[in-house]
């Protein structure tokens, strides 16, 4: 007899529970997202999410709290495409629970996300409220806080980059096309589709609108011009200061390239003047007849070695300057790389990535607690991390203060304090009767213990800046481990050691090595969650403020995942 199978009856009615929340288990993460967002969505936040009413006619709008919940759950599930979100709302039961059986279209979701992320400080406030909730639930071990940067691609292509000359050419084409369209419209002819019209008589209609292509071209052009003019002004000021110091005899070192010829001319004139002063002094002593012979007459300036050397150097610099001018005019074969701006997303930059090459994107800075809770972050345009060290320190300190405030609620509840302590404490003697739970918990959650960073943040200014205790690598990890093996250190550093020597000494001690080894699992593990679990490998929005909001929103999803794991 053949094997018996369960019947397949696709026409059978689906007997689902009446309450939608019964469609998913009680410990499902969608319930946590719904409860958290609805609890944190204040009336002021809702008012900022609702666009102004243009007309009383038409269908009612979707609840902004529902849309915010849907966005948070979608990010947590790694569904970032608005079309995919719409599709999930139709067929995924957990998404149907999140949106309350509504099916908002992808355009609605996209417009809501763009409006919400454009509100100054809205996502940032929501991020810190969720962080406080996570801390109150028992997350956030601050004994070690790791900071790092991660490069995330922008919603733009590298091929959309243009130099200043290319932007001027593109702007001229846009204006010429707009003028031709306006003339055709005045003549009664049809206006070509996709052409911006004139605003008045001079510029395209979208020239002042940053959302239009013409507006983005203008923004890129103004940014590059401003950067070039600022650099030229700074170079002129530095060159003039050097020349003034050279005249006064206080200048030292090499002159700026812009005034190298002028500085050498001054040196030549000074050498000539010094030799001429010797000749004048000899003639004066000879005319005075002081009773002694004035000695041999000094040679003319052009015959001295100092003047000949200075004049040869001047001629060499003048030849170099002429060659550079010829190269800039197109006579040379090699061209220096020029600064560029991206027409699609003017705020994005070319970012070097590990393994070689570049991406068009942003450098996102963040800080992670020792249990991978994200404490704060933002997007920036710097290709390196050294200039962001003190700013990310401030972001980490703000997040740590929120975590400390969230853990302060445990002080009056011994059961919650014990449960939170047992979750966070890594000491082997946790169950020892002599182990002070209150003091240990305060040490883990009362403030930042040590900030650890990789060598990208290292500078004398950064390691001596005011703030919490910090430990910054001075080179690659394998080099630091080799140095710690070959030159191990014990105890405190010498009393007369400099900050750099103190930092290097700590990295070679067993305690310092143990602290620094927490950096990669904490912050790079958080980066893996942001990229792999929430799917944030490429931003959906454009512009630095919107990108920062999108990055923090991914941090909210990451923290909610950690909260769901302990709930």
The answer to whether 463 touches 390, Cβ cutoff 8 Å, is no
Dist CA 150 CA 527 (whole Å): 7
Dist CA 185 CA 6 (whole Å): 71
Whether residue 198 is predicted with pLDDT greater than 60 in this model: the reply is no
* Residue 534 belongs to a domain: yes
* Residue 369 belongs to a domain: yes
Confidence tier at 560 by pLDDT (50, 70, 90): very high
Output the pLDDT for position 98.
93
* Residue 362 belongs to a domain: yes
φ/ψ (deg, to 5) at 251: -75, 145
418 and 533 both lie in a single domain: yes
Structural domain tally of the chain? 2
Dist CA 431 CA 440 (whole Å): 12
Of the candidate ranges 192-196, 380-384, 456-460, the one whose mean pLDDT is the lowest: 192-196
Q: Which residues pair with 451 in a beta bridge?
A: 145, 470
Whether residue 204 is predicted with pLDDT greater than 50 in this model: the reply is no
Pick the more confident residue, 532 or 326. 532
91 and 114 both lie in a single domain: yes
Nearest residue to 144 via CA among 420, 501, 518: 518
Confidence tier at 278 by pLDDT (50, 70, 90): confident
Burial class (CB in 10 A: 0-12, 13-18, 19+), 158: middle
Output the pLDDT for position 538.
95
Structural domain of 68 = 20-118
Confidence tier at 201 by pLDDT (50, 70, 90): very low
Whether residue 36 is predicted with pLDDT greater than 90 in this model: the reply is yes
382 and 423 both lie in a single domain: yes
76 and 144 both lie in a single domain: no
Dist CA 381 CA 345 (whole Å): 12
Q: Which residues pair with 470 in a beta bridge?
A: 451
Q: What are the CA-CA distances from residue 457 to residues 146, 323, 361, 365, 472 (Å)?
A: 12, 39, 20, 11, 7
Measured in Å, how far apart are the chain's first and last C-alpha atoms? 49
The answer to whether 398 touches 448, Cβ cutoff 8 Å, is no
Pick the more confident residue, 232 or 304. 304
109 and 142 both lie in a single domain: no
38 and 136 both lie in a single domain: no
* Residue 269 belongs to a domain: no
Mean pLDDT in residue range 171-181: 73
Indicate the helix (H) or strand (E) that contains 122: helix 122-136
* Residue 391 belongs to a domain: yes
The answer to whether 472 touches 457, Cβ cutoff 8 Å, is yes
Confidence tier at 32 by pLDDT (50, 70, 90): very high
Of the candidate ranges 117-121, 221-225, 351-355, the one whose mean pLDDT is the lowest: 221-225
Pick the more confident residue, 131 or 167. 131
The rounded percent of the chain whose pLDDT value lies above 90 is 42
Mean pLDDT in residue range 169-198: 63
Contacts by residues 465-474 (CB-CB < 8 Å, ≥ 24 positions apart) = 465/389, 465/390, 465/393, 467/390, 467/393, 467/397, 468/145, 468/393, 468/397, 470/393, 471/503, 471/506, 471/507, 471/512, 471/515, 471/516, 472/503, 473/507, 473/516, 474/500, 474/503, 474/504, 474/507
* Residue 557 belongs to a domain: yes
The answer to whether 148 touches 530, Cβ cutoff 8 Å, is no
Mean pLDDT in residue range 512-524: 92
Whether residue 194 is predicted with pLDDT greater than 60 in this model: the reply is no
* Residue 290 belongs to a domain: no
Confidence tier at 84 by pLDDT (50, 70, 90): very high
Tokens coding 111 = 């417009």
* Residue 294 belongs to a domain: no
Other beta carbons less than 10 A from residue 203's beta carbon: 18
Residue pLDDT, tens place only, 110-158: 999 999 999 999 999 999 999 999 999 889 999 999 999 999 999 999 8
Q: What beta strand segments (E) does 245-398 contain?
A: 341-342, 349-352, 358-368, 374-380
- The pTM of this model reads 0.81
Nearest 5°: the CA angle 26, 27, 32 is 95
Whether residue 336 is predicted with pLDDT greater than 90 in this model: the reply is no
Q: Tell the residue number behind the tokens 């794991």, with chain if given.
A: 565
Helices 64-76 and 544-566: crossing angle, nearest 10°?
Answer: 70
Confidence tier at 87 by pLDDT (50, 70, 90): very high
Whether residue 183 is predicted with pLDDT greater than 90 in this model: the reply is no
Q: Tell the residue number behind the tokens 């204006």, with chain if given.
A: 175
Output the pLDDT for position 205.
47
139 and 60 both lie in a single domain: no
The rounded percent of the chain whose pLDDT value lies above 70 is 89
Dist CA 536 CA 527 (whole Å): 9
Dist CA 403 CA 396 (whole Å): 10
Dist CA 116 CA 45 (whole Å): 10
105 and 135 both lie in a single domain: no
Of 56, 91, 118, which closes a domain? 118
90 and 146 both lie in a single domain: no
Whether residue 247 is predicted with pLDDT greater than 70 in this model: the reply is yes
Pick the more confident residue, 223 or 134. 134
Of 67, 97, 118, which closes a domain? 118
Output the pLDDT for position 208.
52
Output the pLDDT for position 34.
94
The answer to whether 440 touches 420, Cβ cutoff 8 Å, is no
Mean pLDDT in residue range 204-219: 63
Residue pLDDT, tens place only, 43-76: 899 889 888 776 677 778 899 999 999 999 999 9
Residue pLDDT, tens place only, 94-104: 999 999 889 99
Average pLDDT, the chain: 84
Tokens coding 499 = 């900050």
Confidence tier at 193 by pLDDT (50, 70, 90): very low
Pick the more confident residue, 34 or 1. 34
140 and 81 both lie in a single domain: no
Residue pLDDT, tens place only, 419-430: 787 778 877 666
Output the pLDDT for position 91.
92
Dist CA 363 CA 351 (whole Å): 7
Tokens coding 51 = 């666009």
Dist CA 107 CA 82 (whole Å): 7
454 and 385 both lie in a single domain: yes
Confidence tier at 33 by pLDDT (50, 70, 90): very high
The answer to whether 549 touches 124, Cβ cutoff 8 Å, is yes
Of 118, 145, 167, which closes a domain? 118
400 and 525 both lie in a single domain: yes
Output the pLDDT for position 59.
78
Output the pLDDT for position 332.
45
Pairing of strands 470-472, 450-453: parallel
Residue pLDDT, tens place only, 465-501: 998 999 999 888 888 888 888 888 888 888 888 999 9
Of the candidate ranges 254-258, 356-360, 532-536, the one whose mean pLDDT is the lowest: 254-258
């Amino acid at each position: 007899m053949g094997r018996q199978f369960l019947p397949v009856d696709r026409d059978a009615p689906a007997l689902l529970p009446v309450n939608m929340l019964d469609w998913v288990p009680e410990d499902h993460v969608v319930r946590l997202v719904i409860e958290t967002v609805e609890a944190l969505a204040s009336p002021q936040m809702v008012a900022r999410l609702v666009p102004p009413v243009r007309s009383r006619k038409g269908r009612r709008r979707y609840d902004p709290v529902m849309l915010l919940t849907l966005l948070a759950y979608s990010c947590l599930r790694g569904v970032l495409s608005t079309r995919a979100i719409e599709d999930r709302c139709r067929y995924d039961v957990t998404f149907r629970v999140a949106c309350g059986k509504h099916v908002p279209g992808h355009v609605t979701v996209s417009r809501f996300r763009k409006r919400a992320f454009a509100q100054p400080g809205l996502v940032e406030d929501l991020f810190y409220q969720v962080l406080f909730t996570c801390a109150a639930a028992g997350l956030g071990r601050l004994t070690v806080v790791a900071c790092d940067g991660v490069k995330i691609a922008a919603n733009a292509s590298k091929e959309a980059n243009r130099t200043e000359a290319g932007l001027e050419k593109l702007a001229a084409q846009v204006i010429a096309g707009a003028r031709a369209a306006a003339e055709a419209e005045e003549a009664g002819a049809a206006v070509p589709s996709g052409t911006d019209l004139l605003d008045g008589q001079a510029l395209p209609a979208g020239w002042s609108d940053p959302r239009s292509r013409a507006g983005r071209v203008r923004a890129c052009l103004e940014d590059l011009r401003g950067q070039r003019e600022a650099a030229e002004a700074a170079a002129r000021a530095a060159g003039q200061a050097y020349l003034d110091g050279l005249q006064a005899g206080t200048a030292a070192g090499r002159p700026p390239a812009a005034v190298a010829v002028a500085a050498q001319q001054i040196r030549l004139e000074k050498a000539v003047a010094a030799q001429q002063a010797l000749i004048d002094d000899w003639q004066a002593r000879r005319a005075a007849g002081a009773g002694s012979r004035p000695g041999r007459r000094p040679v003319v300036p052009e015959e001295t070695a100092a003047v000949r050397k200075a004049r040869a150097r001047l001629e060499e610099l003048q030849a170099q300057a002429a060659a550079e001018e010829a190269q800039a005019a197109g006579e040379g074969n090699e061209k220096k790389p020029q600064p560029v701006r991206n027409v699609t997303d003017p705020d994005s930059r070319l970012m070097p990535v590990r393994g070689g090459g570049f991406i068009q994107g942003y450098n996102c800075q963040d800080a992670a607690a020792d249990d991978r809770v994200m404490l704060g972050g933002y997007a920036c345009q710097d290709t390196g991390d050294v200039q962001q060290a003190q700013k990310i320190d401030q972001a980490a300190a703000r997040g740590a203060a929120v975590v400390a405030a969230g853990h302060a609620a445990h002080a009056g509840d011994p059961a919650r304090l014990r449960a939170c302590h047992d979750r966070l404490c890594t000491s082997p003697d946790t169950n020892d009767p002599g182990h002070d739970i209150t003091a240990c918990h305060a040490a883990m959650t009362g403030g930042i213990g040590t900030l650890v960073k990789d060598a990208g943040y290292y500078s004398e200014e950064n390691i001596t800046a005011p703030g919490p205790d910090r430990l910054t690598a001075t080179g690659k990890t394998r080099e630091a481990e080799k140095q710690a093996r070959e030159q191990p250190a014990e105890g405190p550093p010498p009393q007369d050691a400099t900050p750099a020597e103190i930092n290097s000494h700590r990295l070679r001690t067993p305690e310092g090595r143990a602290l620094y080894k927490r950096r990669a699992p904490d912050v790079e593990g958080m980066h893996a969650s942001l990229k792999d679990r929430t799917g944030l490998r490429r931003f959906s929005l454009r512009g630095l403020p919107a990108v920062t909001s999108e990055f923090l929103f991914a941090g909210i999803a990451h923290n909610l995942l950690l909260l769901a794991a302990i709930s």
